[in-house]
Structure formats: structure tokens, C-alpha cells
Amino acid sequence: MMNSIARKVCVAACVLAVAANGAQVAHAEMAVADSSVTVTADGPGAVFHNSVTQPGRISTLKFTDARSIAGSQESSLYVDLRADGALVDLESGLNVDTHRDGNTQVVIYRGEDQAAGVSVEREYRFDGNRVDVIVRVTNNKDASAFVQADLTNQINSQVGLSGSYDDGKFVVAPAQLGYETAVSFDNATSSGVADAFQRTTAAGEVGFVDPAGASFQRGRWFERIDAGATLTAAMHMEVATQDSAVDSDGDGLPD
């Protein structure tokens, strides 16, 4: 069972650093077109720190816990969208907004791919050891359209990871001395964890667990939506230090 509550810290001091054309501006309300956004956390604790959202399909999620021997855990988050079979250009007509919602740091990308006939909103919400990613795809065509949304997280780990699925949630972790990552996908058409990108949803079922490994976690949404309607895809991730990796006194050795 994840022990995040015991180690979750207050992130009231978190700030957004917005990278635009090489310059960093500490301003939680700045919207910058066609820019990456670096989200940092002030002070030690179990937090996502130096995560970078990108205007393209791949963003980087970086988690660290000052009371862990595991160092940092870095993930690559992929957003892949299709409308009537055509790939959606995430960077078309893009603008970026950053703001706070209480302690939560929020990054929102909004764009429109006229060729694909859809508009897209990608929302990233950072709060301590939790990240929520919500993608909304709106059909701008005059007729219904088949829309597919894939949210895939790849944990970049040097050690093997195994997965489990229970009550709508995947839990991915090494055997010991690392981090435990809980991932869920709201109302996905199919979902799974596997040791290969495409194997995650190859079975076409919800809750697939590949016995060979779990470094990739994916939710897939596939729906026919009416003109003007919106498909919403949401992923939730929480990370916590395994008990075997806790280093309360900071001596570099597990307790």
C-alpha cells in the first residue's frame, strides 16, 4: 500500500519557473506561446521538482524525496491524439497559460489543429507528490468524429519494475529500495502496464498487467463524439518512497 500520506509535504512555497526563449520568469500567471514550462518546488520533501511540460507530445516528470536513498525518478509523458485516424498536431495554434489553484501549480496548453478538425486543451496540475494530466479534445467538425487519446507514462529506471492493478489503480515499483508509483486513468477504453510502449494496450482491456515488466503505463480513450462535443482523458499519478528506501537521518543508508 502506498505510504505517500506519511511523507507528503506541504508545497505552499512552490513556484513556477517559465522558460521562454531561454529566459526564466518567476510569475505564476504568465502565458507564453510555444514555450516549455519548468515547474520547480522550493525546499526539500517528497515533490515533483524540475518537471518540464512541452508544447509537443513528450513532457518530463521528475520526482525527488529528500528522505529517500532512491535519488530522483524521471518519467517521459507522451500525449498522442488522433481524429478520424489522422494524427493531431499538438503545436498548431498554441498558447500557454500558467497559474495557481491554491497549492496546485497549473500549466495549460490550448491549441487548434484545423486540418484534423479539433481543438485541444492539455492541463498539467502539480501538487506535492501528485500530478494530474487532463486532456480535452473538442470536435470542431460539422459531423461526428472518431477521436483517440493516448496518455503514456514511461518511468526511466535502471532496474526492473513490476506492476499490479486493483480497484482502478496501477501500482508500479521495483522489488525494493526505490519509489512506488500509483497511476490511474479515468474511464479509459483500455489501459495497461508493460515493458514495451505498444504492449500496454495491445490486449484491448482495462487493467492489463504485463508479467514481463511495467515501465510503461498507458490509458487509451477511443470514442465517436458528436460535432461540438469533447472527449476528456485524465491520468493521475502519485509517487512515494518504498519503506525499504526511507533514509530519515540523511546518512545515505536506509533506516
Q: Domain limits of the chain?
A: 4-245
Q: Mean pLDDT over residues 83-98, rounded?
A: 95
- Supply the Cα-derived Rg of the chain in whole angstroms: 18
Model confidence at 87: pLDDT above 50:
yes
- Integer CA distances (angstroms), 145 to 48, 84, 152, in order: 36, 6, 23
Model confidence at 13: pLDDT above 50:
no
Q: Mean pLDDT over residues 86-108, rounded?
A: 94
Q: Please give the share of the chain, as a percent, with pLDDT higher than 70.
A: 84
Q: Quickly state the pLDDT bin for 195 (edges 50, 70, 90).
A: very high
Q: Mean pLDDT over residues 34-58, rounded?
A: 87
pLDDT digits (tens, 9 = 90+) for 151-190: 999 999 999 999 999 999 999 999 999 999 999 999 999 9
Longest Cα separation, the chain: 63
Model confidence at 95: pLDDT above 80:
yes
Model confidence at 196: pLDDT above 60:
yes
Looking at 2.70.98, 3.30.230, 3.40.50, 2.60.40, the CATH number of the domain 4-245 comes to 2.70.98
Least confident piece of the model among 4-13, 180-189, 212-221: 4-13
Model confidence at 29: pLDDT above 90:
no
Q: How many angstroms separate the CA atoms of 186 and 199, rounded?
A: 20
